[in-house]
Amino acid sequence: MSRIGKMPVAIPAGVDVSLGDQQVSVKGSGGVLIVAQSGLVKVSSEGGKLSFAAANDSREADAMTGTMRQLVSNMVIGVTKGFEKKLTLIGVGYKAQAQGNKLNLAVGYSHPVNKDMPEGIVVATPTPTEIVIKGADRQRVGQIAAEIRAIRPPEPYKGKGIRYSDEKVAIKETKKK
């Protein structure tokens, strides 16, 4: 069985977890998150902890045990603390501006690029060259960050573009005569 799947998930105070037949829902100060429950995993709650066990001895059940445990753990962390991704704009004249649930980008195109944020995602721009994306759902925060980065990914010769704040871009050497 998965080593991750064996560890129980502690439920902190202020978080309500409800186990249904087909889904697990986690409710807290950050919102409500729901994940579909796999038939290969048995979820049980006792003493403020959630335990996960494989429903049968198949390899898929073992794999899904660790996956389901991590999904629920991320939901518990999301409704208590939340997740965030930071992006950095590198390039002359590149800037970002957050207006409500919209992100306006000027990244070297002949037109400004506007990106609408979905429900549950908050975007902020502490400086014109930094973007901070926050939310309770880890997958959605990462997906929105990837979509924003895809608008102008970093190019390999000068490093201009939108990159994650901890991303290292390998700069290529230009062609010599």
CATH code for residues 83-164: 3.90.930.12
pLDDT category of residue 176 using cuts at 50, 70 and 90: confident
pLDDT of residue 1: 60
Judge whether 77 and 29 are in contact, CB under 8 Å.
no
Q: What is the pTM of this model?
A: 0.89
- 63-115 pLDDT per residue, tens: 999 999 999 999 999 999 999 999 999 999 999 999 989 999 999 999 999 99
- 32-48 pLDDT per residue, tens: 999 999 889 999 998 88
> What's the order of all strands across the beta sheet hosting 31-36?
16-19, 23-28, 31-36
Return contacts of 48-57, CB within 8 angstroms, 24+ apart: 48/10, 48/11, 49/8, 49/9, 49/10, 49/11, 50/8, 50/9, 50/11, 50/17, 51/8, 52/5, 52/8, 52/9, 54/1, 54/5
Judge whether 81 and 15 are in contact, CB under 8 Å.
no
Task: Please enumerate in sequence order all residues whose Cβ is within 8 A of that of 47, keeping only pairs 6 or more positions apart, or say none.
Answer: none
pLDDT of residue 113: 95
- For the record, the structure tokens of 166 come out as 């901890």
Q: Nearest 5°: CA angle at 38, between 34 and 42?
A: 100
**Span 3-80 CATH architecture:** Alpha-Beta Complex (3.90)
- For the record, the structure tokens of 66 come out as 């660790």
- For the record, the structure tokens of 133 come out as 């994306």
Provide the residue ranges of all domains of the chain, joining segments of one domain with +. Answer: 3-80, 83-164
pLDDT of residue 3: 83
Between CA 82 and CA 76 the distance in angstroms is 9
Domains 3-80 and 83-164 share a fold: yes
- 136-145 pLDDT per residue, tens: 999 999 999 9
